[in-house]
Amino acid sequence: MNHSNYVNPLTERYASKEMMELFSPFKKFSTWRKLWVALAETEKELGLNITDEQIEEMRNNINNIDFEYAKEMEKKFRHDVMAHVHTFGKVCPKAMPIIHLGATSAYVGDNTDLILMKEGLTLIKKQMVNLVHNLKEFALKYKDLPTLGFTHFQPAQLTTVGKRACLWLQDFLLDFEDLEYVSSNLKFRGVKGTTGTQASFLALFNGDHEKVRMLDRLVSKKMGFDKVLTITGQTYTRKQDTQVLKVLAGIAESAHKMATDIRLLQNLKEVEEPFEKHQIGSSAMAYKRNPMRSERVCSLARLVITNSINPYLTHATQWFERTLDDSANRRVVIPESFLAIDAILQLLINITDGLVVYNKIIEKHIMEELPFMATENIIMESVKRGADRQKMHELIRKHSMDAGMIVKMEGGKNDLLERLAKDENIPLNKEEILKIVNPADFIGRAPQQVEEFVNDEVNPILNKYKDLLGVSVEIKV
């Protein structure tokens, strides 16, 4: 490695080998060559004067790429596609006259981008299925465990640890629906010529419109696309980039929310992300256990969300059949978004694989707040025993205020229950009061909601994609 050059941290530190290979120069330019083979092969099938020998020569050299020569050619032509036509032609001298026949640069450039994005979405789908599986297992395991709910990050009514995980899970299911829709509806640019009119191909086939239509459909099919844009300019509509990056931004948004919740819970010491044996939380403070992976998720998620603004602006400023001010932007934004979302999902799979729950701390936090929340139930039970509702309300209000002062002003424990048990005006003893303040009685239908959600909405997806389960995740740093 040349240590004097800039290196992208996404490839050095974060993204998986599979996603890096997908957006590598080798994958890009070998895909260009596959597109040239598919074009020549189909042109021959439809009657053009192209030989089997030429096609065989091209097919045998798809992976034989001389990157140094391509670099020289690009310096000479100032055109990446022509540089690679000549690089391919150098090892395919018989096929050189028919490589790229009738096509424009966008034939290889745009169609390759669509192939890479579709394959990228397939990789993301696999990771999402595994994340959904991990979250489902976690939700079921803790569906009955009461925990303090928070609104405005202030203590609110109880929920369960599993039910809270379903909030995260539901977000990812909504993202998964978007992912499925966009990936199955992504349309190929196909074979359209310089301004999208197919004029060059109409000339090649002597005005035979049906053959030109067939060429477009057959090449697209060979490259794995059933759906093809009928209308293009020189490029496919950049609106498709917007649709794809919007899906990635949606996943990033959900990931950020979940990772933020974990960071807050780790501060409360209720839930903790996995911590390696030799991991260092702080170079100065030896005792620290920081939620580093969740923080990294948030950091990368913001990159993906902000990147998703680019395609809106790019498409909005494409003039007529195309301008080239999309090119440099897309070269950076599309791969970076895929690499970053890949890293995010790897991190979340790792985190959810070993999320630690501290039951006793959760219970302690509940019992600091639940006595206040249970006062209405205590009033109701006292009235059932013949007490006056208004008197009970005033007595319990006063005890609550006093107990609250002890907690807030003196840092003492919440002794409200003891105060109520000692008050002879309240017709309940300590045992009866504690029975009323049982956390399990304050979680509503949370456990049942988890089960219903998992059975009705999560399991159908996991059953449909069970062959995608089981990914090996390696966090580099």
Catalytic residues: 152, 282
Q: Tokens standing for 143?
A: 């569906």
Centre a 10 Å sphere on the Cβ of residue 318 and count the other Cβ atoms it contains.
18
Tell me the C-alpha distance between 156 and 83, whole Å: 64
| 438 three-class SS | coil
Q: Please state the separation of Cα 249 from the chain's center in Å.
A: 7
Residue type, 129: V
Q: Tokens standing for 215?
A: 């060429």
Tell me the C-alpha distance between 250 and 259, whole Å: 14
Residue type, 77: F
| 411 three-class SS | coil
Are 341 and 256 contacting, i.e. CB atoms less than 8 angstroms apart? no
Tell me the C-alpha distance between 66 and 40, whole Å: 21
- Strand segments (E) across 293-416: 356-357
Tell me the C-alpha distance between 85 and 32, whole Å: 9
Alpha-carbon distances of 176 from 108, 128, 348, rounded to whole Å:
29, 7, 15
Are 68 and 84 contacting, i.e. CB atoms less than 8 angstroms apart? no
Concatenated DSSP letters of 154-196: EEEEEEEHHHHHHHHHHHHHHHHHHHHHHHHH--B--S--SSS
Tell me the C-alpha distance between 123 and 127, whole Å: 7
Q: Tokens standing for 207?
A: 């005005």
Residue type, 81: V
Q: How far apart are the first and last CA of the chain?
A: 18
| 460 three-class SS | helix
Q: Give the closest residue to 322 by CA, choosing from 232, 187, 193, 228.
A: 232
Burial class (CB in 10 A: 0-12, 13-18, 19+), 97: exposed
Tell me the C-alpha distance between 43 and 57, whole Å: 16
Alpha-carbon distances of 251 from 117, 171, 195, 260, 340, rounded to whole Å:
15, 8, 35, 14, 11
| 228 three-class SS | strand
